[in-house]
Structures are given as structure tokens and as C-alpha cells.
Structure 1
């Protein structure tokens, strides 16, 4: 059974997985826990980008408006503006670019605050994403992790971890998966099925204005991360995707795989592991699981 093979792929990598893969242009699907609530992490940025681009296309927000991102009030993250030491000024549309290509957190939070969490949830409901809920911006989510672990917030947790003993760090790591932000269904949440639905709507210009959908597709195709779904495919296969990860527990990716014969597949893969799991192994498992699901669907049609 292919589902047993896919479970084994995740198990060998030291994680559990939930996924859904559907052809874009015909019926059928391969799913594993496809309706299970999951923590989206940065995968939710696809929804933020779509709403922002919809506002641009409809004239509700000027994409060229310059916006100051203060160094003193900056969302933490491993890349992009999070690493800047000075204030930065960017346009809204350039923030969307940074958000989808390198997963920039300060850009995401600036956009989320401008659009509003309520608008994101209204968009999710309009698109039929009944199990997708955005609870807060990323900074508040990170702070909630620190608070759940007995600290004033994320910055306080990071400062403590720099001086903590190995034993103290291990005890904190053991508690991480149970924090609200990392508990499926408790914080910001989605399902593999909702994310595949979103991808299908974006790729068929049904998620919003065609110009908005086209820009989301184009930026996802330029995502810098290529070691998850894309790792299992070689040119001329093309992959447009958005990855997400959170504190070594959650590693995800959603995207569309386009084959040279015209077949296209929307995929959403979500994994969980204990802190300290082999990052490279889990990333590769996301690609392998997607490829096996696509191969299974292709065999069904031949």
C-alpha cells in the first residue's frame, strides 16, 4: 500500500506526516491524514500574500506605498529584514516578494497588521477553507511560545537559552511541542486539504483577481527554499512552493508540481518531530512523500 510506504518515509526521517496531493486538471487524490488539523507556520503566508495582492488589484491598497519597518519593533526570524540593524523602508508589494521568496517575518507582520487578522479569516472563509484560522501575527505567536515556557516572551526565552545548561535546554525542548502555538487546532491552524484547495483556487484564478493569483504563482515559483518538495524532482519538472517551519518541531511545504507533459499536482505536506530531529532527513522526506504520491496518482491514470 502506498500510504504505508509514505508513512514509512516519514518514520525513517524521525517525524510524522500529513499530506494531500491532487491533480489540478483531473479527478483523484492521495491523502494521509488530509483533514487533520496542523500547524501551518510560514505556509500561512500564501493566504496573507493572496489577500494583499487582492487589495492591490482592487485598489484598496497602493502596492507602491513606502512603509517604514522599525528596527526597534522587528519580528524575529532567520533571514531578511529580521537581520537588519537599521530601520528599513519598503513598499507593500516588495514586502510580499520578501515574504514568499525568503519567508521574511517582519514583512509578513507588517502586511498582517495592515490587512488585519479578521480580513485574513474572512478571506479563508470566502475561499471555503473551513479549517483554516489565523490567530495572530507571527510576533505574537513567537511571544506565546516564550510565555508558555515560563518567560516574558520570545526575546526573553532566547536570552535565557544562551546561558541555560544542557539539562535545562533539554527540559525546555521536551515541553515545546505542547505549547499552544505548536498544538494543532489551538493556535493558527489549517489542514492539508484546505491548503490544497487554496492552491487549486490560486492556480485556476478563482481565489481572487487574476492579477493577484498570477503574482502569487510567480513569487512562489521563485522561493529560495528548494530542499523540500523540489528536492525530489529535476528539470524540466517545475515546482512553485512555500515552505514553513517552527522551532525544530514543524517542517512543512505546500506547492504545485508541473510536469513537462502538462500534468500538474497541488501538494500540501506537514510534518512534526521532536526537537533535535535530523533536519535534512525530514526535508528530504517531504520531497520523497510528494513524489510517491504523484507517482501513485499517475499509475492510476495509465
Structure 2
């Protein structure tokens, strides 16, 4: 499998693509543009979850402690607390679940305020993930798009794209395919936090409800796919882990940017699973 193979696959789907797939246990890997910075969109919620767990391990917060989320706390989003109308009292741990399983923006921002952006970035530095940064909350991301475009998203025109800070990695939450995959490897090897916290993170990541990207490449009852998607105008991505019944486990990150501004792009979603499957098959051969 070569770089041109993946390049042709991505272009046929109408996207640019970046990929890293790695055998979690042997370190063998295959990449395509794996070290190029890319916006992470909602995938920033994974390092936030890791730092939340590390603070719980250190006794800096109680994951069972409860907070009340009010209308003033809500930020835009179609899922979870973001879509609710009434005040909700919920534990910090369940906020973390919602921000991963259904990509709840409000849950993420309430948790980020408690954990601290500086702490998340310090954790990333400690793991040598210096190309990954959390610079904005979900609410700040949404606001910046409206400010830059001059009107509400997701209805954007092609001329709006050049003005969007969220599409410029240095000015938004960003990472690389390699570092996203490395972070998942740390979680699966019990190195990101305590073994019990890593086990909890693996369980939550396996509960993500979206089947149309990474999981679409592995439609088998005995293959487990866990992950976190990210979506912004023209951007679609997912990072996660694919586990086979023979014990093989592979951290995969696929990020794409489409040539079209259309909201619904099933080919762009599907190519994430197809590219991941090609890469994992290559590693398993």
C-alpha cells in the first residue's frame, strides 16, 4: 500500500486526506500526510477527557460531583445538553460521557471550565504531543465562525472559507493524524491515566453513536471500533481504535477536508472508513 493509493482514494471521494494507522502493540504504522497539522474539531474532546481522568486519579476533582447546567451555560449543538431546554443536574463523569458518546458541546465546555485549558495542554506536553493544542472551547469555535463569516453557519458560501479561523490549524484546536493516533494508543495501553481510568475511557469511546465514518469500514460483529468524530465546515474526521478477535488492535486517525461546501457528503464520510480499513489490512498482512 502506498501514499498514491490513499491519495487516489481520497480524491475520488472529493477530499484531501491525512491518515495514520498504527499497531498499538508492535508500533508498525502506515501514514499519509500524518505530520501535517489539521483542525481537530470535536476530537479536541479526547485530550479533555484524558486530563479529566488524570485529575480524578490525582484527587483534584471528584468525578461523581454534580453540577447544574443552566440555559446560560448552553452552547450551540444538536445533541445532548446543547439541545435541551431545562436546567440539568449531572455528574462531571456523565458530562464526559455525553461529550464523547454524542459529542455534546455544552457538556464539553462545562467540563473544560472545570478541568482548565492550560492543564489539558500541559498534559499533552508531558506526553510529547506538542503538535496537539486545545485553544478554544466549543462555544468559542462556534462564535468565531459566525464572526468570521458574518452570518450563522452551517450555511456557508465558498468565499466564506478563507475567513474561517477554525480551518486554520494555528488559530484553532489542532493536532496531526500521528498524534491523535498516539493519544489513543496511550489510552489502550493504560499509559494515559490509571488502568481503571483508561478502562473507563475505552468503554466510553466504544459507546460513540456515530457509525458512518471509522466504523463503516469494519462492519463485522466480532470487530470492535471505538472512536471520536470531528466535524466542521468542509472538515470530517475520526480517530479511534479497531480491535480484532485475534487480539490485534490498531489506533487509526483519518482527517479529511472536502472540496465542496455541501453539508451532506456521504462519500467524504465513507472514505474515512474505507481508508482506515485499507491501512489496517496493510498492517495485518
Coarse TM-score class (shorter-chain normalised): over 0.9
Structure 2 equivalent of residue 166 of structure 1: none
Give the distance between the partners of 2:120 and 2:158, measured in 1 at CA.
31
CA contact (8 A) 1:239 1:257 kept: yes
Q: What's the CA shift string for 1:154-173, capped at 9, x where partnerless?
A: xxx25xx8xxxxxxx66x44
Where do residues 1-302 of structure 1 align in structure 2 (5 Å cutoff)? 1-150=1-150, 157=152, 172-233=157-218, 234-247=220-233, 249-273=234-258, 274-276=260-262, 278-299=264-285
SS at match of 2:231: strand
Unaligned runs of 5+ in 2: none
SS at match of 1:271: strand
SS at match of 1:260: coil
Q: What's the CA shift string for 1:189-236, capped at 9, x where partnerless?
A: 100111111111111111122222111111001111111111111121
CA contact (8 A) 2:73 2:110 kept: no
Give the distance between the partners of 1:222 and 1:149, measured in 2 at CA.
34
C-alpha root-mean-square deviation of aligned residues, in Å?
Answer: 1.6
Aligned residues: 283
- Deviation at residue 265 of structure 1 after TM alignment: 0.6
CA contact (8 A) 1:14 1:278 kept: no
Are residues 177 and 266 of structure 1, via their aligned partners in 2, closer, same or farther at CA, if it must alter by over 3 Å?
A: farther
Are residues 3 and 278 of structure 1, via their aligned partners in 2, closer, same or farther at CA, if it must alter by over 3 Å?
A: farther
Give the distance between the partners of 2:127 and 2:34, measured in 1 at CA.
18
CA contact (8 A) 2:57 2:193 kept: no
- Deviation at residue 177 of structure 1 after TM alignment: 4.9
Are residues 27 and 57 of structure 1, via their aligned partners in 2, closer, same or farther at CA, if it must alter by over 3 Å?
A: closer
Give the distance between the partners of 2:128 and 2:200, measured in 1 at CA.
21
Are residues 202 and 183 of structure 1, via their aligned partners in 2, closer, same or farther at CA, if it must alter by over 3 Å?
A: same
Give the distance between the partners of 1:20 and 1:253, measured in 2 at CA.
11
Unaligned runs of 5+ in 1: 152-156, 162-168
Are residues 141 and 277 of structure 1, via their aligned partners in 2, closer, same or farther at CA, if it must alter by over 3 Å?
A: closer
- Deviation at residue 54 of structure 1 after TM alignment: 1.6
SS at match of 1:185: helix
- Deviation at residue 178 of structure 1 after TM alignment: 4.0
CA contact (8 A) 1:174 1:275 kept: no
Runs ≥4 residues deviating over 4 A: none
